[in-house]
Structure 1
């Protein structure tokens, strides 16, 4: 069955996951969902990144209720029969930009903010024909960007040309998506974790599949923080933030378990490790890759450890979400095909 999940007031929550939140949608395993993911940065260029429905969300949800995180989330989706210990397999099928514009903020939480001591917004325009984006204009944000969804009042006179002649590839993906943790009250959308959340891996786009460990009945899956392009590291604090229309299929899995968000792309298996310390995050990703190789490929720990050193790539996912991220990817093509049992 295909379900529609528009981003309207009753279907969104701003800045948090919450195990007690009433579902916006109830689905069965195997169902498809077409959902709207709205950026919390639409206010950086309201005339380009808002329509009446997006504007209504910004007008209706009080600034005081946009906490403790910053991301505008659509959901949650309750999956029938999903129980703690299960996995939700989310097959991302389409991610289509809602508008042809997006925003990058060089924020006070960016990795090099102390080198600049100011925040700067760059507005990008998408070119669908070439699947690239180019900077349309930029401006210095007055003061600090402290209120999620704050709307810009920058006049034309304060806008500057930026990055002339440069084009970047458009690769739409979800910066934040995941399940409700088994924690009382609101959990910020900012730090990633076992529940998923703000992973900020640009590979979580159409054609990829994520496996999220279920912590509460129904899973309570939500999406938000849509991006159209980002580099590993997300060094300035944000990607090109832009609203997306997303279609995905949700499948309940009980035939295997995994302790952290696991990503499957056409070419790679990718595991994620998180911690405030990048060294610890790397060890967490290493241990989960060991688990994947021993549990799913049947390797011994010694063989898996050797293989990781010669064939797996470790990269920094992001360094700007408080809890930093490392991802480790290993090519699927290096493994022999699994033998099918005889009839």
Structure 2
């Protein structure tokens, strides 16, 4: 069975995660759903990044309710039978761009804002405007930056959903023809967190704003469930991002995402666990980038601890064996440094982990 969740003011919530948010759809385990994921940066170039449906979300969700975070979520979706302690399996089947344009913001929360002394918007275009299923034949391989402008709509880019009215005189063409490999993925995805309402910005064991570019077509992500029905949501869609996301954002662009939701009885997890065609990835989160080596080290340690547990529990290694293999066969990386807390990941090839 397959269904579609259209993004509207009634099926989206903006800026927060909250277990009390009522589900807008209920699916049986194993059901396939196509979900419209909307970028909160559509206002950076509304002539290119907005259509009537996106404008309706801007008009229909009051600005004062877009807090305390920034992202637009579509959902939540109830997964029938999901219980606290279960693992939600999310198979990402395909992603299709809604529009052929995306925005990158060198923002006040970026790593080098003080050095740059300003905020800058750069608009990217998919090289092939004829859109097809992501990850398959016909999907554009590259995006290119076409123009940029200094952000002046307000003193700092702090208001979710701000619109920069098109000004051709301020739009400066990019200085050279460069092609960026497209990596469509979801920056935000996960389950309802424990406790009350929280900002959509910091990621956590519930998922949320993990910002791992590997959360794209062909991958499978596993989340621990904390509430009845899981409370699954998607948001923050991207065309491409590098590890670190240092200037503040990826190429923020709306996507239609087709995925399958089920319950993984055989794979208990304590934090987001990713499986790609080649690797398993664990994740860690800790501190802020302003904490320097300490915050980064704690996030990396959490990812490493999750990896060691995975190698023992799933791979069948002893802890001594796992610890040795992790040092010689596991790659550690910085997922992002701009989401309030640092995110790190650890990747192990299938050939090492799988029996």
Q: Shorter-chain TM-score: what band?
A: over 0.9
Residue 176 of structure 1 pairs with residue 188 of structure 2: yes
SS at match of 1:219: coil
**Greater alpha carbon shift after TM alignment, 120-129 vs 291-300:** 120-129
Displacement of 1:334 in angstroms is 3.1
SS at match of 1:69: coil
| 1:118-197 equivalent positions in 2, closer than 5 A | 118-128=118-128, 130-142=140-152, 143-184=155-196, 186-197=197-208
Could you list the per-position Cα deviations for residues 282-333 of structure 1 after superposition, in whole angstroms to 9, with x for gaps in the alignment?
1101100010000001101110000000000001000000111000001102
CA separation in 2, counterparts of 1:252 and 1:271? 19
**Runs of 4+ residues deviating >4 angstroms:** none
**Greater alpha carbon shift after TM alignment, 205-214 vs 246-255:** 246-255
Displacement of 1:157 in angstroms is 0.6
SS at match of 1:53: helix
Could you list the per-position Cα deviations for residues 107-136 of structure 1 after superposition, in whole angstroms to 9, with x for gaps in the alignment?
000011110121000000111365211111
| 1:74-153 equivalent positions in 2, closer than 5 A | 74-128=74-128, 130-142=140-152, 143-153=155-165
Using structure 2 for the length normalisation, give the TM-score: 0.93
CA separation in 2, counterparts of 1:83 and 1:163? 53
Residue 24 of structure 1 pairs with residue 36 of structure 2: no
Aligned to 1:279: 297
Change (3 A) 1:217 1:163: farther
Could you list the per-position Cα deviations for residues 20-55 of structure 1 after superposition, in whole angstroms to 9, with x for gaps in the alignment?
111010011101100100000000000101110100
Runs (5+) with no aligned partner, structure 1:
339-343
Are the aligned partners of 1:38 and 1:72 in contact in 2 as well (CA < 8 Å)?
Answer: yes
Could you list the per-position Cα deviations for residues 165-198 of structure 1 after superposition, in whole angstroms to 9, with x for gaps in the alignment?
11100110000001111212x2111001000000
Displacement of 1:154 in angstroms is 4.1
The one of 210, 226, 235 equivalent to 1:224 is 235
Change (3 A) 1:328 1:290: same
Displacement of 1:64 in angstroms is 0.6
CA separation in 2, counterparts of 1:56 and 1:263? 34
Aligned to 1:237: 248
Are the aligned partners of 2:46 and 2:166 in contact in 1 as well (CA < 8 Å)?
Answer: no
Change (3 A) 1:108 1:279: same
Aligned to 1:341: none
CA separation in 2, counterparts of 1:156 and 1:255? 55
Are the aligned partners of 1:134 and 1:163 in contact in 2 as well (CA < 8 Å)?
Answer: no
Are the aligned partners of 2:283 and 2:344 in contact in 1 as well (CA < 8 Å)?
Answer: yes
Are the aligned partners of 1:19 and 1:180 in contact in 2 as well (CA < 8 Å)?
Answer: yes
Change (3 A) 1:163 1:311: farther
CA separation in 1, counterparts of 2:242 and 2:266? 34
Change (3 A) 1:95 1:163: farther
Displacement of 1:15 in angstroms is 0.8
SS at match of 1:250: strand
Runs (5+) with no aligned partner, structure 2:
129-137, 288-294
CA separation in 2, counterparts of 1:269 and 1:123? 33
CA separation in 1, counterparts of 2:332 and 2:267? 24
Aligned to 1:262: 273
Are the aligned partners of 1:135 and 1:163 in contact in 2 as well (CA < 8 Å)?
Answer: no
Displacement of 1:255 in angstroms is 2.3
SS at match of 1:110: coil
Could you list the per-position Cα deviations for residues 210-258 of structure 1 after superposition, in whole angstroms to 9, with x for gaps in the alignment?
0010011110000000000000000001000000000000011222311
Using structure 1 for the length normalisation, give the TM-score: 0.96
Residue 201 of structure 1 pairs with residue 212 of structure 2: yes
For the aligned residue pairs, the C-alpha RMSD in angstroms reads: 1.0
